[in-house]
Every structure is written in structure tokens, then in C-alpha cells.
Structure 1
Amino acid sequence: MAKTANKMQPTDVDPEEFIDQVENATRRADAERMVEIMRDITGEEPVMWGPSIIGFGSYHYVYESGREGDAPAAGFSPRKANLVVYLMNNFTEQHSEKLAELGPHKASKACLYLTKLDKVDEDILRFLINDSYEMIKEMYPDQN
């Protein structure tokens, strides 16, 4: 099977300039705070991935299917409807008790959707981000 590459790549866009363009003031403030939180957890500087994801660190993956690419080790996106935090697959199963205490949110396989950062428990959010980041670092130990 031919290898397929991930189309998501880091860009030269300044994350601060991207955040400054977010129309919703609450979402913009939440994005600024998320940069602080993720920088603190990862020790990495923010980098834009594609047109709307702010990532911290990176890793290279190769799936059994042959699909491969690079992805941020931690990341989020200030979307119009939600602040989307990207976490390792199946975090909902691993941390159902923590999620029950997080505050208002929605979740999918690898995304945590928040409407307002000040409505969730930041310690639990930090735990979830750190756990996901550490898991990626364990799975891909020789990478940034």
C-alpha cells in the first residue's frame, strides 16, 4: 500500500497574530490563557499547525495502514463554537471520573470542547493535557 502523508504541517504564521484575529473576545482570551497553560505544561513554544491549530512540541507517527505524518504533541484551536483541546485517543474512557468533575464540556474520541475556560476546573484540565502530552512523549521518546 502506498504511503499517504498527513496534510497538517507547521506554518510560519505567528500564533499571537492568529489569536489576535479571533473575533469572539471570550474565545480570544481563552486562547491566550491556553497558550500559557500549554507552554507551562510542555515547556514548548506555540507553533501554528495548518490554518487554525496552535501546537506545542511535535511527533512523527506511522500507522499500520502506511499513513504517516507529524502532529503537535499538545494542541488546541479557538474555533467559533468552542475552544477545542486535542488529547490522546480514548481519553474519555481513561479519565471519565476526572471529566465528570471538569465542568461544562463535550468530548469526542480525541477532542475536548469547551465553551468557556473559566467555567472548567483548570487543575483537571491541566491534568488531562499533561497526561496526554506525557503519553505521547512515552510513545515517541526520541522526538521533540
Structure 2
Amino acid sequence: MAAQKTLPTDASVEAFLDAAQPARRVEEGHRLAALMREETGEEPVMWGPSMVGFGSYRYVSPSRTSRTEGEWPKVAFSPRKAAISLYGLKDLPEGAALLPGLGEYTEGAGCVYVKRLDAIDEAVLRRLVRIAHGRQDDPPRR
């Protein structure tokens, strides 16, 4: 079995977010970290060099040739230059069903891409984060 490459680290989330480019990603990254902290009740942790994650779970992905298992964040983001990558929002059926109400976004294989936080519905994002984290029945944490 291949070793998992993206793991939690002791790197500073604050330093990572402060170094984001372009400059507006710094503010958006800090806003997202605060929002996800509020909705999950978890402190942010760096996963690998470029993902900010909240909570974690064990996964097992069986295949015909090999079995892959490891640890992954329940919900995470990365303030990349072209777009903000949001992880975990569409993994569960409840999240996938709610995703069309988010606003302006595109999808990748395992993530949702947002060009600007101001172009999405924050209430929907908060609900998606709670669903991804497993807190879907909790009231909003504001």
C-alpha cells in the first residue's frame, strides 16, 4: 500500500493564510477559517503544505488491485491563486443536493472551486460545512 502524502502537520495556519496570493486571498482565507471554526467547533490544522482542514476521518477505498486507507479532513479549503478550493462539501448526498444553492462555483473531482467568497451564499456555505463535518442537525453557530 502506498503511503498517504497529505497528512496533518504542525505548520502555522496563520502564516500559511498570511502568505496567500493574490492579496484578497489573505482576507478570504481568514474569513473561511473563522467560518469553518465556528461551524465545526474545531481548530484549523494544516494538511500537507496547502490545505487547511477541520476534523478528520479514517477512510478505506478498496479496489481490485490495492486497498487504500488513511486519514482525511472532514472539511477543508485552500486559498489558491485562481480560485479557493473547498473540500468535503459534496461528499455526502445532503451536501451534493444543497450545492446548487451556493452561488457561483465550479466542480472538480473532489472539490468545489470558488473565485470570490462574495459570489456565494454564506448561509448555504455554513450549512454545507456543517453537513460535511457531521453537524447537519446543529443550529447555525454564530
Q: Report the TM-score, using the length of structure 1 for normalisation.
A: 0.82
Q: Paired residue for 1:57? A: 55
Q: Paired residue for 1:142? A: none
Please state which structure has a larger fraction of its residues in helix: 1
RMSD of aligned Cα (Å): 2.0
Q: Which runs of 4+ in 1 moved over 6 A?
A: none
Q: Secondary structure at the match of 2:8?
A: coil
Aligned residues: 131
| Structure 1 segment 65-80 matched on structure 2, within 5 A | 65=63, 66-80=67-81
Deviations 1:47-75 (A, max 9, x none): 10001000011112122231011111110
Q: Paired residue for 1:141? A: none
User: Structure 1 residue 24 and structure 2 residue 25: aligned?
Assistant: no
What is the Cα deviation at residue 115 of structure 1? 0.8
Contact 1:104 1:114 in 2 (8 A): yes
Q: Which residue identity lines up with residue 96 of structure 2 in the other structure?
A: Q
What is the Cα deviation at residue 104 of structure 1? 1.1
Contact 2:22 2:81 in 1 (8 A): yes
| Structure 1 segment 31-42 matched on structure 2, within 5 A | 31-42=29-40
Q: Distance in 2 between matches of 1:101 and 1:83?
A: 17
Q: Distance in 1 between matches of 2:57 and 2:81?
A: 27
Q: Secondary structure at the match of 2:5?
A: coil
Q: Which residue identity lines up with residue 122 of structure 1 in the other structure?
A: E
Q: Paired residue for 1:138? A: none
Contact 2:13 2:46 in 1 (8 A): yes
Contact 1:26 1:116 in 2 (8 A): no
Gaps of 5+ in 1: 136-144
Deviations 1:76-111 (A, max 9, x none): 00111001110243659831xx43332211123431
Residues 1:93 and 1:58: Cα distance change in structure 2 (over 3 Å):
closer
Identity of aligned residues (%): 41
Q: Distance in 2 between matches of 1:69 and 1:99?
A: 26
Q: Report the TM-score, using the length of structure 2 for normalisation.
A: 0.83
Contact 1:15 1:46 in 2 (8 A): yes
